[in-house]
Structure formats: C-alpha cells, structure tokens
Amino acid sequence: MKRIKNFKFETAFVVFFLLSLFAILSEKSILQSVYIIDVNKGLNQYLYSDAALGGVTQTSDLLIDSHFQWECTLKKEVVDYPFCGLGFSFDKDIINGVDFSQVSELKVWLDYEGTADTIRISLKNYNPLYSTAEEASSLKPNDLDIRKEYLLEGFTISLSSFSVPNWWKLQQKVPPHLSIPEFKNITLLNIQTGSDVTYGVHKFKLKKIALVGQWISTEAWYLSILVFWLPFVLRAVILMREMNRVKKRELELLVLNSLLDKQSKVLKNQAHTDKLTGVFNRQGVEDAIALALREWEEESIQLSIVMLDIDHFKSINDNFGHAVGDIVLSELATLVQGNIRSTDRFARWGGEEFVLICRDTTLDIAVKIAEKLRDRIAGAELVDGVSVTASFGVANITNKSSIEELFKYADDALYKAKNNGRNKVEFTPIE
C-alpha cells in the first residue's frame, strides 16, 4: 500500500515539476494581457479643444471607418496655448475606469501631419483622494509628449516614461505620495497636440492603441507556484522520517526549493529597486523610514529628509530625447550614491524627483549634505554635452510633526528652491 502511495506521490511530483518548469519558462506568454483600443472597442469617443476655455480652434468632424480621423486648426487669438485632441472615455461618469497598473507598455499606431514637433498622450486616473466626478480637471493626468519622428507603425512606449505635470500637482495641492503617476483607475485616454504650440492645420489618423501588460504580477505568479509546492514539501519531510531509501528524491526536492527560493528573492529585490536607476523605489525605503521614525519616537534620534528634483528635466527630454533623459537620471543616481553616507538611503520618488532618508541627522547636517550634492551635480557632466542642476528641499522631524508632515515640509522647501531660481537648497526651519 505504501509503495502505491509513494508511486502516486512520485508521479504527482513529476507532473507538478514539469508544470512548474513550463510555468517559469512560459511566464511572459502566459501572463501577457493586451487591451486594444480601436473602432471595434465600442468606447465613447469625443473631440475636444481649447473652445471650452474660450479659444477659437476649429475642429473637423470625427471620421470613423477602419480608423479614427480628425483635423483641427489652431489659432492664437484668445488663448496662449491652443490645443485639440481625441478622447476615449472608459466610463461616462469618469469614476469607474480600467485598472492599467499591471500594464508595462503602450503601443500606438498613429499618423500625423502638421507643424507640431510633439504629440501628447494622456492617461487620466480617478482617485477619490483628489478627484471628483464634477470636475474633469481633478483627474490625475499621466502625460507623455512624443516627438513626431518616433511615431512609427506600432511605436512602443514604456508606461514608466509617463509623468504627472507640475501644474496639476500645484493646482490640486496633492501631497508627495499622491503626486506620482497612477494607473489603477484610468477613466479617460486622450491624444492631442503637444506642448510645443504651433498654429495652423493638424491632421491625425489613429488606427489603434494597445496596452500590453500582465493579468497578474510576476510576484503573484511565482508565489502561486510556491503555494502549489507546499504539499510536496510537507510530504517530503514525512518520507525523510519513514524511508531512508528516498534520500535521493528528497535531495531533488531541496534543490528545486532552493531554485524557487532564489527566484523569489530576485523578484523581491526587483520589487524594491527602481529599474532605471538601480536605487531604491518608494517601497524600497519603507523599512528605512519605519526604522527612523521608531528611533525618533522611542529615543528622540533625529530624522531628516532631503527632496531632490532635477531642474528643467523636461527640456532635456525634449531637446535630446528620452533615452538621454534616462541616462541623466541613472548617472545622477550613481553620483549621489557615491557622495552619501552608508547609513543614508537614497530612492527615486517619481519622474525626476528623488528622496534621501538621513537617520540620526540634524537639520543643519542634512542641509550641508544637500549643499554638497547640489555642488557635485552642478559641476558634473552626466552625459557628453549635457549638464544639469538640481533643487533641494530639506526638513527635520519635530515633536509637532508626523511623517506625512515631514515630507510635506521638505516638498514645500523644494518648491521654494524652484521658485527662487533653482539650483538651490532650501529648508523648513525647526519651530
């Protein structure tokens, strides 16, 4: 009877091993999810322009056959920045949209004729923390301007390239943790003329848009594989006690578990690290923030943070391209990491903004650290022919402030540095 049970167990082990191997090797093809926007999707589409702001842009009717086709004429008679575009609504009430948080890239099939250098794509997210159904302007715009020479057939864009414009952050007065790109509840998708204002006729022909991602995360996929393997691990422990002659089989299970555990650790490290710069992401510095806050609350050990934002970063992307912009971000992160203390934790906060967590650090020391970094960045040539500066905001936690207020104080100081001419270090004094 035991031999029959063992045979069944061994057979199941082999089957699950082959299935797991197949799941690992075929991960991308199995998990991939594609959301297509074209004339067959049945979405509510509409043309819009600066007419809502009192502008005089003339827009043609929307022609739909195998694609969407429209044109508009921009004029500088009323508004300084005329615009026009085509929008797609995933929900007529702009509340319940589509979750694109697992989308990694966007592919566009778009033909454009006109004098503009860029075309803007905007994914607008509804979140009740900052949005209302009555105000479409309260939707968070995740924007990207694309130069028209890149509009090739099926042009691919990484969603990590999208950013939230500063004017919206200032207008909505959102805290730092809500100012990063967000794709969990996209209710509107817009394609329009870009940031460069060019007057005259602009013609568009949109064939389709594809949002490519995964229906579940890679981490969840590997976790489900591990869950399926748990019964086999338990059974292996029993067999170790009962049968010495299955040691070889037990060794195979241990090797397999080691491989799966190693893969799980790799995925965990990837989840805590910014893919572009190699520094921590927001999730990656959570432990450092929690430890520093606990030290402050229990032992009154000082905690300071430094917010860093690259000055005029958009102009780098516009003038040199996003590839150069990515190199600038990566090289700046490397430079900063080489000029901070081993106890400091440096993370990309979103777009061109970074944060430095300084444990056991007073405000004046944190200001000196920020000033040192400002000087090193201003004096470095991160890419051949491209130099940048950065603005800094520094804050220190006090008995009257929470961690949320600490980040707000640093963010306010950063905006002060920006408003005072950039390439500066500003700080919030301790009350």
Contacts of 262 (CB under 8 A, 6+ apart): none
Which letter does DSSP use for residue 67 in this model? S
What are the catalytic residues? 352
User: What gap in Å lies between CA 16 and CA 399, rounded to an integer?
Assistant: 56
User: What gap in Å lies between CA 368 and CA 359, rounded to an integer?
Assistant: 15
Place of tokens 């799941």: 23
Contacts of 307 (CB under 8 A, 6+ apart): 176, 349, 353, 354, 355, 392, 393, 394, 407, 410, 411, 413, 414
Given a contact cutoff of 8 angstroms between Cβ atoms, the answer to whether 6 and 13 are in contact is: no
Given a contact cutoff of 8 angstroms between Cβ atoms, the answer to whether 308 and 354 are in contact is: yes
Given a contact cutoff of 8 angstroms between Cβ atoms, the answer to whether 418 and 390 are in contact is: no
Reduce the DSSP state of residue 355 to 3 states and report it. Answer: strand
Reduce the DSSP state of residue 94 to 3 states and report it. Answer: coil
374 burial via Cβ count (<10 Å: 0-12, 13-18, 19+): buried
CA atoms within 13 A on the CB side of 423: 10
